[in-house]
Homo-oligomer: A and B are copies of this chain.
Amino acid sequence: MSGNKASKQKPCHHCKNRPASAPPGTSMIHYEKFWLYRHCSSVQQRDRQAQKAGQLFSGLLAMNVVFLGSAFISSMIFNHVAITLADLWILLSILKVLCLCWIIYYLLGTSRQPHAVLYRDSHAGPIWIRGSVLLFGSFSILLNVFQIGYSAILIQCKSRVEIVFPSIEIVFIFTQAFFLWHHSKDCIQVQHNFTRCGLMLTIATNLLLWLLAVTNDTIHMEIESQLREVEQRFEGKTASCTCPNTTICKVFQKGYILLYPFNTEYCLVCCSVLYVMWKNVGRRISHHHVPHIKPKFKLQGVVFGPLLGTIAVIIGICVFMMYQIQATGSAPNHQVFVMYYSYYIVLLPLMSVGAVIGTIIHALEKKELDTLKNPTRSLDVILLMGAALGQIAMSYFSIVAIVATDPRDLLNSLILSHSVLLIFQNITQNVFIIDGLHRQPFAAATEARHTEHTGEQAVASELPGEEDTTTSSNREHTQMSPGKEEEMKEEQNHEAYDQRRVNMLELGQEIRKVSLSYIHSYSHLSWKRRALREISFFLVLCNIILWVMPTFGAHPVFENGLEKSFYGYSTWFAIVNFGLPLGVFYRMHSVGGLLEVYITA
């Protein structure tokens, strides 16, 4: 016990003498301890309780930071005389510097301790998440560069502090992106509580940055709709500080407005990755549960999904362009809203039907469920459901507003059906994705074995319902890859026919029956799997276009004016404020989930 304690504080020297390739044994594991639970009888139980207590205390830390920050932000919004944006930036800069210190300590200290990272969670930080961290991170850095440039041009009426803050922000974004890229899979085994607190502090900082970005983002919506009236109130103290008519200043200003949404998404994505890391602190993964090689993304064997999806994307882009041209004009046209909502009304039922068919196919498929604990997947499910709430809440508010005013008007009935369909689409898609994430990627696992040419036996029979017909040919089939299916299908058929012709004389009627049932079930399965891939690919593309449109500034819920006049400006503003960023995040996250469904189908 005392040796264990000592090894926690300084590098454990006697462990270093062991060969590095030894499997992680109990001697390397740093069980957690907590003063509240010193008297537990078993080490495992004490470890588990210490883990819970550590999570509780670090969660409390984050809660306090978030509440303090939220109170600051609200004060700034509702009383911008007493609390200015500068005060808020000072608070956030302090938090960022603290996070930076912890991240650097983690990179140089904690993670380099012996046996610090014994396990890596293969589900955490998939490539599309880490890629989006990098992408959004770069855009956010660019945004801050623009902001520095903009402030530098208008230096005569802005304080020098407005150059210092974005610089800290750039350092923070860069360091955090680097940290998440390299360490998002870590299950750290040393300094548990300190690491938890550091992660929670970083999460709280990102959440506060998101909150601030959300309030600023909607102010940018206003910039466009209310023609720069609000910007002057918010940004400069003197109204004379307008951008001189140089190209560079206009570029900075426009780029600043265009890049803003990415900053919002960056914060949300970082929060979710950091949360998974926090859940993984002190987690020990038994090695036989982890499939070491993930299936790769392959485009083979899908035709209709990409085709339909591409059509949807192209039409969507046209609609979006026309909407943007019309809506940014002085008075938004009635026609353009009809066009926009009609597009949604055609697209959403298609997506819903796709998701429902996909769910039915999942039910028909004879696949085992993956019921192992998996924090990444649990988070995915929670985030999907939580992010969908934003759009669903907004839709219900729209529905009540329209039903109470005049549902028989053309535009109103369009908005009404759009809202109803959106709720339905969100729910069916969520069910489809959640169900898909819980299916075992058995084909992928066997593909990995196949590729590696290891002598392992196939563990699970692919056809649990038809176990009585299992033969060697069947086992051969389970080792088939889903990607190579299309290539090997014909080969296999030929082989099967050849073999049958030889064997028929030798083994007679029985084997023929087995082979026939095998071919039947094979083509049967292949059909289902292909349909799943078509559907998920189609949904991926649809979600991308539905993600792009609000991200780049199409906010008809705000611009059509119906709900705004019903609920009153400030209330609807608050609702949209809450719903829209969540909706954008939902689309992005759906794309990730659907890609996973596509790969494992």
Question: Cβ of A389: which chain B residues have Cβ within 8 Å of it?
Answer: 63
- Interface positions of A from 18 to 58, Cβ below 8 Å from B: 35-41, 45, 48-49, 56
Nearest CB in chain B: distance from A224 CB, A? 25
Judge whether A36 and B67 touch: CB under 8 Å.
Answer: no
Judge whether A71 and B397 touch: CB under 8 Å.
Answer: yes
Judge whether A464 and B41 touch: CB under 8 Å.
Answer: yes
Question: Cβ of A36: which chain B residues have Cβ within 8 Å of it?
Answer: 359, 362-363, 435
Nearest CB in chain B: distance from A263 CB, A? 24
Question: Cβ of A405: which chain B residues have Cβ within 8 Å of it?
Answer: 82
Is A495 part of the binding interface, using a Cβ–Cβ cutoff of 8 Å?
A: no
Question: Cβ of A70: which chain B residues have Cβ within 8 Å of it?
Answer: 393, 396
Nearest CB in chain B: distance from A103 CB, A? 26
Is A75 part of the binding interface, using a Cβ–Cβ cutoff of 8 Å?
A: yes
Is A2 part of the binding interface, using a Cβ–Cβ cutoff of 8 Å?
A: no
Is A165 part of the binding interface, using a Cβ–Cβ cutoff of 8 Å?
A: no
Which of A56, A392, A404, A571 is packed against the most chain B CB atoms within 10 Å? Answer: A404
Q: Which residue of B lies closest to A68 (CB)?
A: B396
User: Would A75 and B567 be within 8 Å (CB), given that A70-B393, A392-B63 are in contact?
Assistant: yes
A317 to B435, CA, bound (A): 56
Judge whether A465 and B39 touch: CB under 8 Å.
Answer: yes
Q: Of B72, B369, B371, B400, which contacts A71 at CB under 8 A?
A: B400
Q: Of B79, B371, B431, which contacts A49 at CB under 8 A?
A: B371
Is A437 part of the binding interface, using a Cβ–Cβ cutoff of 8 Å?
A: no
Is A339 part of the binding interface, using a Cβ–Cβ cutoff of 8 Å?
A: no
A67 to B389, CA, bound (A): 9
User: Would A39 and B464 be within 8 Å (CB), given that A392-B63, A571-B78 are in contact?
Assistant: yes
Copies in the complex: 2
Question: What is the interface of chain A mostly: helix, strand, loop, or mixed?
Answer: helix
Judge whether B67 and A396 touch: CB under 8 Å.
Answer: yes
Nearest CB in chain B: distance from A436 CB, A? 11
Judge whether B82 and A404 touch: CB under 8 Å.
Answer: yes
Q: Of B83, B393, B404, B571, which contacts A404 at CB under 8 A?
A: B83
A363 to B397, CA, bound (A): 50
Judge whether B79 and A37 touch: CB under 8 Å.
Answer: no
Judge whether A37 and B363 touch: CB under 8 Å.
Answer: yes
- Interface positions of A from 55 to 69, Cβ below 8 Å from B: 56, 60, 63-64, 67-68
Is A580 part of the binding interface, using a Cβ–Cβ cutoff of 8 Å?
A: no
Question: Cβ of A434: which chain B residues have Cβ within 8 Å of it?
Answer: 56
Question: Cβ of A359: which chain B residues have Cβ within 8 Å of it?
Answer: 36
Is A401 part of the binding interface, using a Cβ–Cβ cutoff of 8 Å?
A: yes
Question: Cβ of A400: which chain B residues have Cβ within 8 Å of it?
Answer: 68, 71-72, 75, 83
Is A399 part of the binding interface, using a Cβ–Cβ cutoff of 8 Å?
A: yes
Question: Cβ of A363: which chain B residues have Cβ within 8 Å of it?
Answer: 35-39
Is A559 part of the binding interface, using a Cβ–Cβ cutoff of 8 Å?
A: no
Judge whether B40 and A74 touch: CB under 8 Å.
Answer: no
Judge whether B41 and A368 touch: CB under 8 Å.
Answer: yes
Question: Cβ of A64: which chain B residues have Cβ within 8 Å of it?
Answer: 392, 396, 423
Question: Cβ of A72: which chain B residues have Cβ within 8 Å of it?
Answer: 400
Judge whether B39 and A367 touch: CB under 8 Å.
Answer: yes
Is A329 part of the binding interface, using a Cβ–Cβ cutoff of 8 Å?
A: no
A463 to B38, CA, bound (A): 14
Q: Which residue of B lies closest to A381 (CB)?
A: B56
Is A427 part of the binding interface, using a Cβ–Cβ cutoff of 8 Å?
A: yes
8 closest Cβ pairs, A-B complex: A82-B404, A71-B400, A71-B396, A67-B396, A39-B366, A36-B363, A71-B397, A78-B567
What are 24 inter-chain pairs, A to B, with CB distance below 8 A? Answer: A36-B363, A39-B363, A39-B365, A39-B366, A39-B464, A39-B465, A41-B368, A48-B371, A49-B371, A56-B434, A64-B392, A64-B396, A67-B392, A70-B393, A72-B400, A74-B397, A74-B567, A78-B568, A78-B571, A79-B404, A82-B401, A82-B405, A82-B566, A83-B400
Known: A70-B396, A74-B567, A78-B567. 16 other contacts (CB 8 A): A35-B363, A36-B362, A36-B435, A37-B369, A39-B363, A39-B464, A39-B465, A45-B369, A49-B371, A56-B434, A70-B393, A71-B396, A75-B566, A78-B566, A78-B571, A83-B400
